[in-house]
Chain A
C-alpha cells in the first residue's frame, strides 16, 4: 500500500506528559512525524494537536485507534490534503544590504505575499505563511542570496468537515 500524507487532528485535555504519550505511539511503530503543532482549540480547556505523517491507509486507521485509546484524548481525526485548509509559517533572517541592493528581493516579497517583520542595519526578518510548496519556493529563491537563519512552524489545519467535539464531551461526562 502506498504512503500518503495525512493530517491528524487530536483534541485532548491539557495535561503534562500527553505530548510524550502521543509521540510514543509513532515512535513505537517507527513512524517519522513530519510536523507537529499544539495549541488551544475552539473549546475552553481543550488542546489541539495537529500532526502530519506519511503512512499507508491501513496504518492511519490503526494510529487513530491507538491515539484515541489514550485516556486524555477526547477524539482524533485524520484527513487528506484535499480535506483540509492548511498553512505553515516561516521566518527568514537576511542581511539588510540585500534589501537595499537593487529591487529584486523587494519585488519578490510583494509577489510572494510575505511580510517584513523587522529591519535594522544588519538584518531584516521576513515572514511568510502558506503551504509547504510556497515556502519551499521562497526558500530556494532566497537561498541564492544567503539566508542567515530559517525556521518553519508545524502545519496548522482546519478541516472542511465538522469535528463534533463539544457534543462528544457532553456524552462522555
Chain B
C-alpha cells in the first residue's frame, strides 16, 4: 500500500507500525503519487492497489488518481482519515467532505463512523473495486472509529444485493455475433483493456487465429496480444495507425471487444463505421449504445462470451482483406514510420529512442508512459510480448502519472523490467516521487524524452493556432543533477551516436537508472486525426 500519514489517519498508521512485516507500506512524497503508484501496481498485477491518506488536503490530493482509475477501470481502494464524528460539518481542522467530492470519480464510496463497520465495509470495498468492471473505491474513516475497539471477525464479501458484477450472457447474442462474423467479407476486431482485465488474452488470440480477422487495439488494449502477431494491425484513434483507422470506414463488421468507443478512438461519430454492422462485447451495460450503436450487444464476462463464440465461428483467412491492411501499412511506413525510427536528420526522434529500448528489452519489459507526444510514440512503437505490459493514463490523460505508476508496477512485478518513458513536462509534475526510489531502492528505469516543450500542446498550437506557442516552452532544470541528488545513476544523451550504448547501460543496470534524451524540439506526432474529423480523414503529415 502507498500512502502519506497525517493527523486524522494516525491511529491507522500506529496500527501499521505493528504490522510492518505483514503489510508493506510505501511512503510516497505526495498523496497523488500514492494513487498512481497503486494504479501502476494494479495494472501490472491485476490485483487491487491501495492508497491511504489523511483527511482534508491528504484526501483531496487523491482525486486525480481516483478520476484516472475511474475512467481507466483500475481496481483501487483509497482509505482516508476523517475528523471525529462529532466534528463532522464543523469546519474542523483538515476536515473536507471527501465523500461528496469523490462521489463522481468513484465506483463506490462510504464513510465509516464506528469501528464495528470496518471489517464488512472493507471487505465490500475490495470486492467492488475488483469485481465486474473494476474501479476505484474510497473509504473515509472518522478518527473515533479508528480509535474504538471491536471484536474483529472478517467475512469475505462475495455479493452485494443491489449490484450485478457481471451481466448474464445471452447465448442468442453470441450466436447472432457468430453469424455476422461468419458472413462477413471484411471483418475487423478492435480490442481494448477489457481483454486484459477479463484475462481473456489466450482465448481472444484463439478467436483471432481461427477466424483470421485483423485486430486493432485501443491505447489500453495494447499488449493483450503480442505486437508481432500477424493479425495485429496496430492502434486505432487520433495518433493510431493508418490502416486500421482508414479501414474502420471500410469494414463490413466491426467487432469491439472490451472497449468503449472513446472520442479519441472514433473521431466524428457521424462518420464512424456507418457502413459496418457493429458487434460489441462488453461487461458494462451502460457502455452499450453510449457512443456507437451496437447491432449485436454481447454482454457478459469476456472470457465466457469469447469461449461461447469460439466454437461457433468458422475458420477463415481473409487474405485479400488483410492485404489491404498491409498495403496501407506500407504507405504509413514510408511516410511516417521510417523517418520516426530511422531518421536521417541531425536531431534525435522519440521513435528511435523507443526502438533502442525495444532492442534491449526484446519487448519483455513493462512500459509505463506519461501523457503527450512521447506517450503516443511509445504506444505506437513499443514492442510487447506479454499482457499487462503497457501502463499509461488513457482516458484522463494525467500528466505526472508515469513516474509513480512505474514505481508501483515495479513493486508489483519485481521479476520484470519496468521502464518509465516520460516527457520533460509531465516528469516535473510528480518528480518528487524520486524520493520513493531513493528510499526503497526500487530499480525503476526512467527515460525522459526532453524536447523543451509541452510537445503535444505545442504541436496543436503549430497546426491549429498559427504557431502561437503560448506557455508551452519549458525552462528545464538539470535533470541529471536532480536524479543524482536522489542517488540515482543518471546520464544525458544529446547525440545519436551515444543513444544505443546509453540505453543498453540503463537496461543492464540492476539498480534504478535515469536517462535523459534530448530530442528534436519541434517534431510532430503523425498520423493524426484532427479533432472533429473522421477516422478515414487521418493525415500522414
Contact = CB atoms under 8 A, between A and B. Distances in A.
Interface residues of B, number: 23
A172 B290 contact: no
Contact of A17 (B103, B161, B163, B286): B103
A39 interface: no
A151 B288 CA distance: 40
11 contacts: A15-B110, A17-B99, A17-B100, A17-B111, A21-B104, A28-B104, A62-B289, A62-B290, A65-B288, A72-B108, A74-B161
Contact of A169 (B100, B109, B161): B161
Lowest 5 A-B CB distances belong to which pairs? Answer: A65-B286, A173-B161, A71-B108, A74-B162, A69-B286
A38 B286 CA distance: 24
Greatest chain B CB density within 10 A among A15, A69, A173 is at A69
Interface string A50-94: 000000000001100110110111100000000000000000000
B272 to A, nearest CB: 16
Greatest chain B CB density within 10 A among A13, A21, A169 is at A21
B161 A172 contact: yes
B160 A71 contact: yes
A20 B162 contact: no
Interface residues of A, number: 22
Given A24-B103, A28-B104, A17 B290 contact: no
A9 interface: no
Interface of B: 99-100, 103-104, 107-111, 128, 159-164, 284-290
A16 interface: yes
B103 A172 contact: no
Interface in A1-53: 12-13, 15-17, 20-21, 24, 28
Contacts of B290: 62, 65
Given A65-B286, A72-B108, A72-B163, 13 more contacts: A15-B110, A16-B111, A17-B109, A17-B110, A68-B285, A68-B286, A69-B284, A71-B108, A71-B128, A74-B162, A172-B160, A172-B162, A173-B159
Given A20-B100, A24-B104, A71-B107, A13 B286 contact: no
Contacts of B286: 62, 65-66, 68-69
A172 B104 contact: no
- Main secondary structure, interface of B, reads mixed
Contacts of B163: 71-72, 172
Interface of A: 12-13, 15-17, 20-21, 24, 28, 61-62, 65-66, 68-69, 71-74, 169, 172-173
Given A21-B103, A68-B286, A12 B111 contact: no
A153 B208 CA distance: 57
A72 to B, nearest CB: 5
- Main secondary structure, interface of A, reads helix
Contacts of B108: 71-72
B162 A61 contact: no
A169 B160 CA distance: 10
Contact of B285 (A16, A65, A169, A172): A65
A61 B159 contact: no
Contacts of B111: 16-17
A69 to B, nearest CB: 5
A137 to B, nearest CB: 39
A13 B162 CA distance: 7
A12 B110 CA distance: 15
A21 B103 CA distance: 6
B233 to A, nearest CB: 31
B109 A172 contact: no
A172 B289 contact: no
A13 B128 CA distance: 16
A22 to B, nearest CB: 10
Contacts of A169: 161-162
B162 A71 contact: yes
A72 B162 contact: yes
B52 to A, nearest CB: 21
A113 B163 CA distance: 43
A20 B103 contact: yes
Contacts of A65: 285-288, 290
Contacts of B289: 61-62
Greatest chain A CB density within 10 A among B104, B161, B287 is at B161
B128 A172 contact: no
Nearest to A46: B162
A92 B485 CA distance: 73
A140 B255 CA distance: 57
A169 B161 CA distance: 6
Nearest to B289: A61
Contacts of A15: 110
A172 B99 contact: no
Given A20-B103, A71-B108, A172 B284 contact: no
A17 to B, nearest CB: 6
A73 B284 CA distance: 15
Contacts of A16: 111
A172 B100 CA distance: 28
Nearest to A64: B286
A172 B107 contact: no
A46 B290 CA distance: 28
A16 B99 CA distance: 10
A55 B83 CA distance: 41
Nearest to A75: B162
B280 to A, nearest CB: 13
A73 B108 CA distance: 11
Contacts of B107: 71
A94 to B, nearest CB: 37
B349 to A, nearest CB: 40
Contacts of A73: 162
A16 B285 CA distance: 25
A65 B284 CA distance: 9
A74 B160 CA distance: 10
A40 to B, nearest CB: 15
Contacts of B287: 65
